[in-house]
C-alpha cells in the first residue's frame, strides 16, 4: 500500500506538516526542555512520558513504547489506514494527492485490476439471481438462515458450474484473459488457454479497508473439497494482511468498540444476520501481527473465537503468542471457546446473540495464558513453580510496559508464591524489551563495528545534516563491516534530500524490515547524545575508523598476495604499513 503514493510526495507532506501542531490539536502539549510533553494518549498515566520532538518530527512514549511520525500518529490515534492518514495530512496541508495524475503511469495496471474485480463482483451477483443453476446456492443460503438483505450487504454471488463462465464474460481478448489471470480469478493452463478458478461455488468478495475488491473466497455447495477456496496471492491481495469483513464492520459501526475474529466467511455472515456486525475472518491463515495491528487500529478490543477442539486450542495458543507483544494500554484481547462441535455460526443460531455477546464467558489473554499453563503444572511443588516461572517469563518479556504487564507480573508472583520485585528482577536478567527512562539502553562506545554503524545511524537520525560532512558517500563502499550497505543508502537519501527530518527518513523505510529498528534508534538517540557531545567530531571520527578498516583490509589482502604480482605502488604501501606496525 505504501508504494502507491510517491515517496517524494510523502517527503513534501512531512516537510509541510509540523508534528507538534498536529498532535497538539488532539492532545494538548506542554513545552518541556527542548521537547513537548503530555500524558500519553495511548496508555493510562498520571505523569507525562509522551514526548514530541520538533526537530525530529517524532513522538515517543517512554511508558508504553509507542513511537513514530505524524503519519503514524494519525494512524494510531484516529485508527486510520496509511492512505487515510496521508489523505488527512494532505487536506490539512492543502496539498492535492497526486493519485490520478502521476500514479496512473506507475500504477495503472493495479487500478485496472481493482476495476476488473468490481466487474467480477457484479457478474457473480447476477449469476446468483439469474443463473438457471443458482437455486442450489440460494437454497443453501436460505438453509443457513441468511436473508436477502445480508446476502446483498456482503455482495454474495454465485460462480456457476463450468470451466469458462467468467472467461466468456470478461475475457474477450488475450490481454483481458491475462488481466483476469493477474487477479487470480482464472488460471493459465500449461498447454495454453485459461480456465475459471472458482466453479460451482458461493462467492464472497473480499474488500480492503478502502473498500476496493482485492480477491474472493468461494465455498462449495456439496461435500466437495476444498470446502473453501481463496484467491491466491496477487499484486493486490495478501492473505497475511487482509481480513474478511473488516470493511463491512467499519462501515456498519461508526465507533467499533470490539471486533470478533472468527474462522470462516459464513461465521462472519451468520453473526451479521443476528445483528453482530463486528466480526472478521482471517483468510485461511492464522492471525498475523499485521492483521492484529490493523485490528487494533480499528478497535480497542479484539475477541478471538475458537472451536473448543484440539485444533481450536492450538490455534488459540498461536493467536496468544502473536498478540502478547502487541498488547499495551488501550488494547485488550479476549478468547472465547465454542462448546464442542459448535462454531460461531451454529452457536449464534442455537444460543442467540445474547449468549454470544456475554462477556462473562470471555477469557482475558493473561487468564488464558495462565490457565493453559496451570493445567500441566503442579503449583504446590517448588519444581512446578519454577517451571511456571520459566514458561511465563519469556512471554512477559515481550510485552511493552503497561497495566497488563504489571498485572501479569503480579499474577505470576501470586502463583509461584513470590513477590513482584522478585519477578521483575528475574525479568531483568534476560534480554528485555522494556524501555524506561530510568534504564536507558546505553550503547557502549568502541565496542565493535556493528555498534559503530548503529551509532552512526543513530547520529544521522538525530541530526541528518551530518551526512553532508561527507563529499562522496561512495568512499564507504566496500568497508568490511555489517550494515554498511544500509548506512550508504541512508547517506545517499539525506544527501539527495537536503533538510529531510528524522520522520522523513523513517517514512522511507515504512513497512520494511528496518522500520522497527530505525524507530527504536530514533526513540533512544536523545539518551545517547547529551548536549555537550560534539556530534560533528564524533561522526568524523567514526567515518575515519570505517575508512581505516577498509584500508587495513586492503593491506591484509596485499600481504597475503604474492609480492611479485603487486604493483610498485602497492609494494610501497605495504612497506610503509609494516614499518608503522613495527613501531607500534
Ligand atoms: Zn504511552
What are the phi and psi torsion angles at 195 (to 5°)?
-140, 155
Among candidates 301, 127, 95, 292, which has minimal Cα distance to 202?
127
pLDDT tens across 185-198, in order? 999 998 889 999 99
Are residues 99 and 93 in contact, defined by beta-carbon separation less than 8 angstroms?
A: no
For residue 192, the SS3 value is coil
Residue 60 Cα to ligand 1 midpoint, Å, equals 8
Are residues 526 and 450 in contact, defined by beta-carbon separation less than 8 angstroms?
A: no
Confidence of residue 437 (pLDDT cuts 50, 70, 90): very low
Residue 50 Cα to ligand 1 midpoint, Å, equals 6
Residue 449 Cα to ligand 1 midpoint, Å, equals 33
Architecture of the domain spanning 255-369: 3-Layer(aba) Sandwich (3.40)
Residue 48 Cα to ligand 1 midpoint, Å, equals 9
Residue 206 Cα to ligand 1 midpoint, Å, equals 34
pLDDT value of residue 443: 36
pLDDT exceeds cutoff 50 at 3: no
Are residues 322 and 289 in contact, defined by beta-carbon separation less than 8 angstroms?
A: yes
pLDDT value of residue 100: 46
pLDDT tens across 74-121, in order? 998 887 888 889 988 998 888 888 754 343 344 456 778 888 999 999
Residue 259 Cα to ligand 1 midpoint, Å, equals 23
Confidence of residue 440 (pLDDT cuts 50, 70, 90): very low
Residue 330 Cα to ligand 1 midpoint, Å, equals 9
Residue 61 Cα to ligand 1 midpoint, Å, equals 5
Question: Is the entire prediction scored with pTM above 0.85?
Answer: no
- Which of the residue ranges 251-260, 305-314, 407-416, 566-575 would you say has the lowest mean pLDDT? 566-575
Residue 59 Cα to ligand 1 midpoint, Å, equals 10
pLDDT exceeds cutoff 70 at 430: no
Architecture of the domain spanning 2-97: Alpha-Beta Complex (3.90)
pLDDT tens across 462-511, in order? 999 999 998 888 888 888 888 888 999 999 999 988 889 999 999 988 87
Architecture of the domain spanning 376-428: Up-down Bundle (1.20)
pLDDT exceeds cutoff 50 at 434: no
pLDDT value of residue 510: 85
Architecture of the domain spanning 449-576: Orthogonal Bundle (1.10)
Counting residues of the chain whose pLDDT is more than 90, the rounded percentage is 51
Topology of the domain comprising 102-230: DNA primase DNAg catalytic core, N-terminal domain (3.90.980)
Residue 23 Cα to ligand 1 midpoint, Å, equals 14
pLDDT value of residue 439: 34
Confidence of residue 262 (pLDDT cuts 50, 70, 90): very high
pLDDT value of residue 93: 87
Residue 208 Cα to ligand 1 midpoint, Å, equals 29
pLDDT tens across 315-340, in order? 999 999 999 988 887 889 999 999 98
Counting residues of the chain whose pLDDT is more than 70, the rounded percentage is 90
Among candidates 104, 120, 108, which has minimal Cα distance to 183?
120
pLDDT value of residue 556: 78
355 membership: H or E segment, kind and range: helix 344-356
Residue 45 Cα to ligand 1 midpoint, Å, equals 8
Residue 258 Cα to ligand 1 midpoint, Å, equals 21
pLDDT value of residue 143: 92
pLDDT value of residue 112: 85
Residue 429 Cα to ligand 1 midpoint, Å, equals 24
Residue 51 Cα to ligand 1 midpoint, Å, equals 9
* Mean pLDDT of the chain, nearest integer: 86
What are the phi and psi torsion angles at 287 (to 5°)?
-60, 130
Where do the structural domains in the chain lie, given as residue ranges? 2-97, 102-230, 255-369, 376-428, 449-576
Mean pLDDT of 19-37: 92
pLDDT value of residue 401: 80
Residue 320 Cα to ligand 1 midpoint, Å, equals 22
pLDDT value of residue 564: 60
Residues with Cβ < 8 Å from 250, sequence gap 6 or more?
A: 209, 256, 298
Residue 58 Cα to ligand 1 midpoint, Å, equals 14
For residue 543, the SS3 value is helix
pLDDT value of residue 304: 97
Burial 252-289 (b: 16+ CB within 10 A, else e): eeeebebbbbbbbbbbbbbbbbbebbbbbbbbeeebee
Residue 42 Cα to ligand 1 midpoint, Å, equals 5
CA distance 213 to 115: 8
Terminal C-alpha separation, the chain:
56
Are residues 244 and 268 in contact, defined by beta-carbon separation less than 8 angstroms?
A: yes
Amino acid at each position: 500500500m505504501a508504494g502507491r503514493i510517491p515517496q517524494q510526495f510523502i517527503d513534501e507532506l512531512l516537510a509541510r506538516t509540523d508534528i507538534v501542531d498536529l498532535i497538539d490539536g488532539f492532545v494538548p502539549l506542554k513545552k518541556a526542555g527542548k521537547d513537548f510533553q503530555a500524558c500519553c494518549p495511548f496508555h493510562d498515566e498520571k505523569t507525562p512520558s509522551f514526548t514530541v520532538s520538533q526537530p525530529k518530527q517524532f513522538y515517543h512514549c517512554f511508558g508504553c513504547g509507542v513511537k513514530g511520525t505524524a503519519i503514524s500518529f494519525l494512524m494510531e490515534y484516529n485508527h486510520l489506514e496509511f492512505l487515510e492518514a496521508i489523505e488527512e495530512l494532505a487536506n490539512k496541508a492543502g496539498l492535492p494527492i497526486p493519485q490520478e495524475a502521476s500514479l496512473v503511469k506507475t500504477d495503472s495496471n493495479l487500478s485496472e485490476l481493482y476495476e476488473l474485480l468490481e466487474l467480477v463482483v457484479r457478474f457473480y451477483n447476477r449469476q446468483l439471481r439469474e443463473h438457471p443453476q443458482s437455486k442450489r446456492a440460494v437454497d443453501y443460503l436460505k438453509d443457513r438462515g441468511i436473508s436477502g438483505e445480508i446476502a446483498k450487504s456482503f455482495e454474495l454471488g454465485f460462480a456457476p458450474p463450468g470451466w469458462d463462465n467468467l472467461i466468456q464474460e470478461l475475457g474477450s481478448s488475450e490481454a483481458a484473459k491475462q488481466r483476469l489471470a493477474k487477479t487470480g480469478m482464472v488460471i493459465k493452463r500449461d498447454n495454453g488457454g485459461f480456465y475459471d478458478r472458482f466453479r460451482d461455488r458461493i462467492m464472497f468478495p473480499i474488500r480492503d479497508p478502502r473498500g476496493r475488491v482485492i480477491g474472493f473466497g468461494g465455498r462449495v455447495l456439496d461435500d466437495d473439497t476444498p470446502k473453501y477456496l481463496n484467491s491466491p496471492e496477487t499484486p493486490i491481495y495478501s492473505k497475511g494482511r487482509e481480513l474478511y469483513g473488516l470493511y463491512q464492520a467499519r462501515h456498519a459501526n461508526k465507533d467499533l468498540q470490539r471486533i470478533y475474529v472468527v474462522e470462516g466467511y459464513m461465521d462472519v455472515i451468520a453473526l451479521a444476520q443476528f445483528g453482530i456486525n463486528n466480526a472478521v475472518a482471517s483468510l485461511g491463515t492464522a492471525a498475523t501481527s499485521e492483521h492484529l495491528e490493523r485490528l487494533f487500529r480499528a478497535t480497542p478490543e479484539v475477541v478471538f473465537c475458537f472451536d473448543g477442539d484440539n485444533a481450536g486450542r492450538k490455534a488459540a495458543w498461536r493467536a496468544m503468542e502473536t498478540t502478547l507483544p502487541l498488547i499495551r494500554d488501550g488494547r485488550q484481547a479476549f478468547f472465547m471457546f465454542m462448546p464442542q462441535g459448535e462454531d460461531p455460526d451454529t452457536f449464534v443460531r442455537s444460543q442467540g446473540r445474547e449468549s454470544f455477546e456475554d462477556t462473562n464467558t470471555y477469557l482475558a489473554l493473561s487468564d488464558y495464558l495462565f490457565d493453559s499453563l496451570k493445567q500441566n503444572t503442579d503449583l504446590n511443588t517448588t519444581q512446578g513453580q519454577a517451571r511456571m516461572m520459566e514458561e511465563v517469563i519469556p512471554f512477559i518479556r515481550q510485552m511493552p510496559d503497561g497495566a497488563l504487564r504489571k498485572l501479569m507480573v503480579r499474577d505470576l508472583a501470586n502463583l509461584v508464591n513470590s513477590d513482584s520485585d522478585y519477578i521483575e528482577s528475574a525479568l531483568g536478567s534476560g534480554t528485555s524489551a522494556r524501555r524506561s527512562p530510568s534504564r536507558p539502553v546505553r550503547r557502549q562506545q568502541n565496542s565493535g563495528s556493528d555498534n559503530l554503524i548503529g551509532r552512526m545511524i543513530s547520529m544521522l537520525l538525530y541530526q541528518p545534516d551530518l551526512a553532508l560532512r561527507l563529499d562522496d558517500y561512495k568512499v564507504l563502499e566496500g568497508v568490511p563491516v555489517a550494515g554498511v550497505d544500509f548506512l550508504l543508502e541512508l547517506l545517499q537519501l539525506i544527501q539527495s534530500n537536503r533538510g529531510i527530518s528524522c520522520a522523513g527518513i523513517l517514512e522511507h523505510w515504512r513497512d520494511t524490515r528496518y522500520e522497527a529498528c530505525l524507530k527504536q534508534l530514533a526513540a533512544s538517540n536523545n539518551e545517547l547524545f547529551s548536549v555537550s557531545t560534539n556530534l560533528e567530531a564524533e561522526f568524523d571520527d567514526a567515518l575515519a575508523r570505517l575508512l581505516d578498516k577498509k584500508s587495513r583490509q586492503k593491506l591484509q589482502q596485499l600481504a597475503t598476495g604474492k609480492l611479485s604480482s603487486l604493483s610498485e605502488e602497492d609494494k610501497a604501501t605495504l612497506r610503509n604499513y609494516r614499518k608503522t606496525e613495527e613501531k607500534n
